Chain A
Amino acid sequence: MSILVIFLLSIVFFVVFVSLHILFLNFRLLGETARICITFLLGNLVSFFLSKELEFNSLFFNSLAINFSILIVYIEFYSLISRGFTLSIITTFKNKKKISEKKLSIFYANGRGAKWLLLKRLKGLNKIKVLQFDKNMKLTKFGNFLCFFIIIFRKVFFIKDFG
C-alpha cells in the first residue's frame, strides 16, 4: 500500500513538474536553471500537500527521494536534446541529405561548425571560473581542484576511456 502511495505522489509530482516546465519555456526572463528549480519546488509542494491531504505525511520524504531521481533523469534528457553533441551531428542532416566527410565539421549545428561547440563549452567553463581562455587556455586553481575530484570519480567508476 505504502509503495503505491509513494508512486502516486511521484506521478503527481512528475505531471506537475513537466507540465510547468513546458509552460515556463515561454518565460524567457527566467534562466534554464531557475526554471527547473522553480518547477521542481512547485511540483514538490503539490506532492507535499497531497500527502498531507491523504494523511500519509511520513511517505512524502520517500516520494521526495524518487522526485529527485526524476529530476536527475529529466535534466539528463533535457540536456541531451538541448546540448547533445552526437544528437547535433544527426540533426545537421536536417537540411542536407549528403555531406562530405571533410565538410561535416563545418556544417555542424546548422552551419555553426564544430569549433562553435568547443568555444561554447570553453565559454561555459570560463563563466564558472574553471578555466581562463583567449587564444590559449589554462585551468584555474579552482579548475585544478575540480579536476582532481573528476579524476577520482572516474577512477571510482573505473572509466578508462571517453565516449
Chain B
Amino acid sequence: MTEYIISILVFLFINFLLSVTIKKYTFENFFLYVILYFFVINIINYFYIGSINFFSFLCLFLASALFLYAGLYRSVSVKVMIYLYFKNKNVSVNKYYNKEFINSSFNKRIKILIKDGILIKKKQNIKLSNRGLKYLRIFKNIQSFYKIKFSG
C-alpha cells in the first residue's frame, strides 16, 4: 500500500517542481512527463517491487490524471465556470462572448496554432500551412470514419 501512496505523492511533487521551473508548462509538457514517469516507475517496479497490481494501478492513475488535467487545463466549460465563480453575479452572455471568449479562448488558440506552424498569417488572412493541411486530411479521415460531420 505504501508504494501506491508514495507514487502519487512523488508524481504530484515532481509535477509541482516542473510547473515552477518550466516557464510555460503546457499540457504537452505534462503529457511527456506522464509518459516518462510511467516508464521510470515501471522499471523500478520491475526490478524492486515486482507487483502486477501496482502496474495496473499506475496505468489507471496516470490515465485518470491525464484526463483530469486535459479537462482542467483546456476545457471551455471549466473556463466559463471558473469565470462565473469568481464574478459571483449574473454575467451577460454577449459581453462574455465579446470580451472574454473571443480574446482569451478563440484568438488564443489561433495564436497557438500560428506559433506551432499549423496556421500561417499573411497580411490579414489566415491559411493552413503544409503541416496544417496534413493534419486536416488526417482529421477529415478520422471524422468521416466515425461519421462526425463537424466538431466543436
Contacts and interface: CB of A to CB of B under 8 A. Distances in A.
A135 B102 CA distance: 18
A73 B104 contact: no
Contacts, number: 224
A163 B89 CA distance: 25
Contacts of A162: 73-74, 79, 104-105, 108
Interface string A73-90: 101101001111111111
A88 B84 contact: no
B93 A81 contact: no
A154 B72 contact: yes
A101 B151 contact: no
Mostly, the B contact residues are helix
Interface centre among A2, A73, A99, A163 (most CB of B within 10 A): A163
Contact count band on B: 35 or more
B85 interface: yes
A129 interface: no
Interface stretch (A37-45, A46-54, A63-71): A63-71
Nearest to A76: B67
Contact of A76 (B15, B66, B132, B139): B66
A135 B124 CA distance: 32
A137 B56 contact: no
B49 interface: no
A32 to B, nearest CB: 11
Mostly, the A contact residues are helix
A159 B74 CA distance: 11
A2 B56 CA distance: 12
A69 B102 contact: no
B130 interface: no
A118 B145 CA distance: 26
A98 B125 contact: yes
Contact of A81 (B94, B102, B148): B148
A62 B52 CA distance: 7
Contact of B84 (A99, A139, A148): A139
B47 interface: no
A119 B96 CA distance: 11
B130 to A, nearest CB: 13
B62 to A, nearest CB: 8
B49 to A, nearest CB: 13
A83 B93 contact: no
B87 to A, nearest CB: 9
Interface string A142-162: 011011101101101111111
B4 interface: no
Interface in B46-97: 52-53, 55-57, 59-60, 62-70, 72-74, 76-82, 84-85, 89-94, 96-97
Interface of A: 2-3, 6, 22, 25, 59, 61-63, 65-66, 68-70, 72-73, 75-76, 78, 81-91, 93-94, 97-102, 104-105, 108-110, 112, 114-122, 124-125, 130-131, 133, 135-139, 143-144, 146-148, 150-151, 153-154, 156-163
